[in-house]
Chains A and B, each alone.
Chain A
Amino acid sequence: MEVLRVEGLVKRFAGIVAVDGLDLAVREGEIRGLIGPNGAGKTTTFNVISGLFAPSAGRVVYRGEDVSGLPMHRIAGKGLVRTFQHSTLCLEMRVFENVLIGRHLHNRSDPVSLLFRRGRWREAEDREHVDEVLRFFELETHRDALASELPYGAQRALGMAIALAARPDTILLDEPFTGMNPEETRRMMRLVEALRERGITILLVEHDMQAIMGLCDRITVMNFGRFLAEGTPAEIRADARVVEAYLGSSRRAS
């Protein structure tokens, strides 16, 4: 079944068209790769799907419902949660407090206990869930550290941990493996695989081609904000247009 569909998505910024008529359909339970050269519009696509920006044209449909233009917190409330390309954490707070923020939607408590129960966010249910999420991302030893004290790889993992704490059914990961060494990347790949086994649908932007090819069921390629190709990792690897797009971009860059 299809969970997420993007139809003719356009996002313009003053002077440039970052996303130019993109179509995309993600099936429930798959790991879908979204790749393309730098500046292809991948992050902008995430920003529009997740509600950070409203689309200039086109639609985002989540579980049959048109969610285009809804604010980010409403879309998160529907189970669609994204992470950020650049580490976005509350660096001034402890690791477990960051994860608690992720539990926002699942922690409705009444005003009375809010005032009278001491340290009430450490309720058993909260604590269990936070610890479970931290264990999942192998962060439990950092539980009480400040987020700013974590090594870069662990900060990336914490970003995902916050998203997971929100209990999403679909998660958008924007370059989760940048700055990780090969060993960390392999470990995180296993975790992303484990997320899917929990029934979470994953849309993954990543530059590490080995990781993308190893993880994804299908891959969508963008170039200049437009759809370029879609297929299995093997098909994408063999696609001449994709190779050309990447070579072209590295030629442009040099």
Chain B
Amino acid sequence: MPETRALRISGALALAAALVALPHVLSFSQQEILVFLVINVLLVMSYRFLALTGEWSLGHVVMMGVGAYASAIVSKRLGFPVPLAMFTGAAVAAVVAWLLSFPLFRMKGFYFLIGSFAAGEVIRLLWKRFRDPFGGPKGLKRIDELPDIELGALQIDFFDPVAYYYFCLIVVVVSLWFLFRVERSRVGLTFHAIHWRDNLAASVGVDTRGYRTLALVIASFFAGLSGTLFAHYVGAINPNRFSVEEMVYVLTWAIVGGTATFYGPILGVVLLTALNEVVFRELGLEQARPLIYGVVLIAFVVFLPRGIESVVPRLLRVGGGLSLSGGRRGT
């Protein structure tokens, strides 16, 4: 047992070192992609959190947008400092999700899916319709960036993708830690019970609607947070950035990686981003991204519906078996 513990700790340290070193082996444009990747990890993980209760939403990317718009507006209009604006943006996304839960959780399954899509489109229409304060179809520009930090000799300029990557990494790691702890707690158990047998849960006193709402609110908070990270880095947002096409990407990451394990969606978004940026960009196919994602999505639904995570244990067993037999030969 202590050996597996030591193994785990050294694994975590190696991963941390790799994450810190990673941007330094990349080109500038790759560093920018890395920033978006980290933001997308938070987005897809917050989506998985909602899926714990068994509900799949089509409005999640719009919740990301609610965070982005709210954060941009309070920093531009009300002069909130950017870190506070970010927190406010995430909180606004959570409140909007709470309000939407009243109509949406009259529905379940397929109807919830359609309802969440409609709710998202209504929000996007509001952004387009009201030039003030949302900027209309062109959206908002010149959103404040994170202020530079000067600590004596140390100067951090968050315009630099490497610095912003580290900032996002910290925010995302803390967020994922929170989501992980909630999932492993009694609340997470209740989410699972609602997913598999909501009548059983209700029969022993679980307010299933209340817990569904809780999952939606927490998931939307972190989706909103990912939106604020995006907005203050890019500096411009518009309604199309949060369209259903983006939602299909999130769905694809989640389905390709799988949602049963905590790491599944991370695998999905990392592998697909790598595929997209390394292979398709080389081949000049990145314009075809929606098409390719669509094909990948269908292929996984048909051939590997439980995602890459479902074959990982098998791969590990093959690897572990080899190292075990190697060990035996040594003794």
Interface residues of chain A, those whose CB is within 8 Å of chain B, are 50, 52, 71-73, 76-77, 81-84, 88-93, 97, 100-105, 107, 109, 114-116, 119-121, 162-163, 165-166
Q: How many A-B residue pairs have CB under 8 A?
A: 88
Which residue from A100, A109, A119, A163 sits with its C-beta under 8 Å from B203? A163
Are A101 and B204 neighbours in the complex by a CB distance under 8 Å?
A: yes
Are A84 and B185 neighbours in the complex by a CB distance under 8 Å?
A: no
Q: Which of B141-190 contact A (CB under 8 A)?
A: 178, 181-182, 184-187, 189-190
9 contacts between A and B (CB under 8 A): A50-B203, A52-B199, A72-B199, A76-B202, A76-B203, A82-B203, A92-B196, A114-B186, A114-B187
Are A90 and B204 neighbours in the complex by a CB distance under 8 Å?
A: no
Are A115 and B182 neighbours in the complex by a CB distance under 8 Å?
A: yes
Are B205 and A76 neighbours in the complex by a CB distance under 8 Å?
A: yes
Are A84 and B200 neighbours in the complex by a CB distance under 8 Å?
A: yes
B203 contact set on A, CB distance < 8 A: 50, 52, 72, 76, 81-84, 88, 163
CB distance from B227 to the nearest CB of A (A): 24
Are B182 and A114 neighbours in the complex by a CB distance under 8 Å?
A: yes
Are B197 and A88 neighbours in the complex by a CB distance under 8 Å?
A: yes
Are B199 and A101 neighbours in the complex by a CB distance under 8 Å?
A: no
B204 contact set on A, CB distance < 8 A: 76, 81, 101-105, 162-163, 165-166
Interface bracket on B? 20 to 34
B207 at the interface (CB under 8 A from A): yes
B206 contact set on A, CB distance < 8 A: 73, 101, 104
A115 contact set on B, CB distance < 8 A: 178, 181-182, 185
Are B200 and A162 neighbours in the complex by a CB distance under 8 Å?
A: yes
Q: With the chains together, A105 CA to B31 CA distance in Å?
A: 49
Are A77 and B193 neighbours in the complex by a CB distance under 8 Å?
A: no
Q: With the chains together, A90 CA to B204 CA distance in Å?
A: 13
Which residue of B is nearest A107, CB measured? B186
Q: With the chains together, A93 CA to B192 CA distance in Å?
A: 9
B243 at the interface (CB under 8 A from A): no
A120 contact set on B, CB distance < 8 A: 185-186
B304 contact set on A, CB distance < 8 A: none
B201 contact set on A, CB distance < 8 A: 101, 104
B208 at the interface (CB under 8 A from A): yes
Which residue of B is nearest A123, CB measured? B186
Q: With the chains together, A116 CA to B181 CA distance in Å?
A: 8
Are A101 and B200 neighbours in the complex by a CB distance under 8 Å?
A: yes
CB distance from A154 to the nearest CB of B (A): 16
Are A104 and B181 neighbours in the complex by a CB distance under 8 Å?
A: no
Are B200 and A90 neighbours in the complex by a CB distance under 8 Å?
A: yes
